[in-house]
Amino acid sequence: MQPNSVFAFHFINDDDEMYYMYQVTDNSVVSRFVMNQSMIQRYVWFDSRVEWSLYWSMPRDQCDYYGECGHFGVCNSNDSPICECLQGFEPKDLDAWNMRDGSGGCVRTTDLDCTSDGFLRMSKVKLPDTANSTVNATMSLEECRESCLKNCSCTAYSSSNISEGDSGCIIWPDELMDIRQYVDGGQDLYVRLAASDLQAGGEDESKNKQVMVIIVISIASGLLLLGSGGFCIWNRMRKRSRGNIRSGLRLVSFDSVTALGPTQGHFSEENSREKELQLPVYDISTIVAATENFSASNKIGEGGFGTVYKGELEEGHTVAVKRLSKYSLQGLDEFKNEVMLIAKLQHVNLVRLLGCCIHGEERMLIYEYMRNKSLNTIIFDKTRSPQLTWPKRFNIIIGIARGLLYLHQDSRFRIIHRDLKASNILLDEELNPKISDFGLARIFGGDQTDAYTKKVVGTYGYMSPEYAMDGIFSVKSDVFSFGVLVLEIVSGKKNRGIYSTEPQLNLLGHAWRLWKEGNLMELIDGSMSLCNVSEALRCMQVGLLCVQERAEERPHMSTVILMLGSASAMLPQPKQPGYCSDRSTTDTEWSSSCTANDVTVTIVEGR
């Protein structure tokens, strides 16, 4: 835990005892602690609402229950089932395990022999229960390993102090209990396994290089054969697909689109090379029938691109049809850009493109249908926002962050979205977020960090200062937009909303004032019946870090995810955000193109 605007935490660890304590930093805060048979809860009192609000609670999920997966079992709340055995182990009671009762734990498949054993490294885990472990703060990690090897009873080892370069040593002499897998954070745990179990599973510490060479050669040979076969199949299908129209579906190639440089155009990979993209194309008659001739009753949204309709295909699939307006300033270039970008992207938090339709001047994109439409239709609606409970909101924040990280770092190309906003976050049936609308996105080259444009496009309220004013955009531009989204999701308020007590401030300015006063809790949306206040405060602090005025001071999305997912991580203190005050339409040369309802800015000349 870390100090915040409500509590200061202290950790005590000496020869006699280990514990933590906390104290209220603000004497005006009234708090109470509730314990029952299944949960521990901390509440704080809100004078403005005249009610108690949940600050934090434990356990937060099933993996927080002690020994949920038994000895040598690993609990992962992101998996289903949540329990699995360590490599080299199998369920002790298979019938109970299959019924999703992992409390019986796991047993070794091969006994240790104390001569040829090795260690499997597990990363990002909560260390096992240390009740029977021994600690030596003076050892290095390598010395810890050697000590464990010499002790035939040692089952695992780890560093006792990761803050000082993996120093210190913890050794477990018996069964390992209460291991948990994290997505981010956690520590490295080295589990002792028999040599045969290490080789079978791809050991981390094994020194059997001959086995590794054989594995690498085998994999490389297999991939070569698979690639050759795949190319032959693809080439045959490509030839067969030309001119093949069946059931209103065919393939299209944008082979006439020339790749431009990363600062000039929409698609870049090896400058001036043409790229061919094949994508399923629906016949116009299929789309007309699916949307009931673009009936007004099927209209589900409208934006800078045009209108979005709900459609029902003959085979029963529900789709969203995005129809390019003939009068839209986002024209054919943006259409091609979106098709070429999103067809290459695959991530659970990105909307999936199913195909497109080109007929005369008509151009349409066909997407998977999102039953709950866009985030802005719920989060800013007082009647619907209560359905977004805090766990749902936190899941949406994490999902958007993971989608952005994929675009910035993990996808084949580094992609800058440039128009991240609440209306471009779609929600599926389970309210999981999916980033949409890639018409304004740009691809960066390998070492490129930023770019410049004379034509600034985006939505005022979400654009970073350096982009709106100078036309400079980078991954940090998307980070700024993400920070605005986080504050909107937690507060349920639009960035460009009106605050009766502070009409000159937007949401960023309002949040910044509350932060400086130590009253950031007041920003939390009152429509939520229960809220994990410590988690919400962490999100808002991360949001403020993301909207800092200077781009270089904003964190990367990889750091954002780490900060959001780790309750123990120490967060930096944010500096003043960009756009603390809401500008009137008379004091800027470009605000006449912007309105308070987040209309997309189509052409803005940077100063």
Please pick, among 419, 437, 478, 525, the residue that the annotation labels catalytic.
419
Beta strand ranges found along 194-333 (DSSP E): 249-253, 278-282, 299-302, 306-312, 318-324
- 3 state SS of 518: coil
- 3 state SS of 258: strand
Q: What is the DSSP letter of 477?
A: H
CB 319 within 8 A of CB 369: yes
Beta strand ranges found along 76-216 (DSSP E): 83-85, 89-91, 106-108, 118-126, 134-140, 156-158, 167-172, 179-181, 187-193
- Helix (H) / strand (E) element for 543: namely helix 533-546
Decide: residue 391, CB within 10 A, 0-12 exposed, 13-18 middle, 19+ buried: middle
Cβ-based neighbour number of residue 356 at 10 Å:
24
CB 189 within 8 A of CB 122: yes
Amino acid at 411: S
What are residue 299's phi and psi, to 5 degrees?
Answer: -70, 125
Decide: residue 315, CB within 10 A, 0-12 exposed, 13-18 middle, 19+ buried: exposed
Give the β-pairing of 106-108 and 167-172: unpaired
Query: Which CA distances in Å does 181 have to 81, 178, 303, 433?
Result: 13, 10, 42, 23
**For this structure, is 419 an active site residue?**
yes
Q: Is the peptide bond before 577 cis (omega within 30 degrees of 0)?
A: no
DSSP 12-57: EE-SS-EEEEEEES-TT--EEEEE-SS-EEEEEEETTTTEEEEEEE
Interaxial angle between packed helices 507-517 and 533-546, expressed in degrees from 0 to 180 and rounded to the nearest 10: 120
19: tokens are 């514990």
576: tokens are 């003043």
Long-range contact set of residues 325-334: C-beta below 8 Å, sequence gap at least 24: 326/361, 328/304, 329/304, 329/602, 329/603, 330/304, 330/305, 330/439, 330/440, 330/457, 330/602, 332/363, 333/266, 334/266, 334/305, 334/439, 334/440
HEC sequence for 499-515: CCCCCCECHHHHHHHHH
> What dihedral angle (degrees, nearest 10) is formed by the CA atoms of 43, 565, 429, 459?
100
- Confirm whether residue 322 is marked as ligand binding: yes
CB 467 within 8 A of CB 473: yes
- 3 state SS of 250: strand
CB 74 within 8 A of CB 176: no
Cβ-based neighbour number of residue 392 at 10 Å:
18
- Helix (H) / strand (E) element for 224: namely helix 209-241
422: region left, alpha or beta (phi > 0 left; psi from -120 to 50 alpha): alpha
Residue 68's contacts (CB-CB under 8 Å, 6 or more residues apart) are 62, 75, 82, 83, 102, 103, 178
What are residue 452's phi and psi, to 5 degrees?
Answer: -125, 140
Q: Catalytic residue numbers?
A: 419
Residues contributing to the annotated binding site for ATP: 322
Residues contributing to the annotated binding site: 322
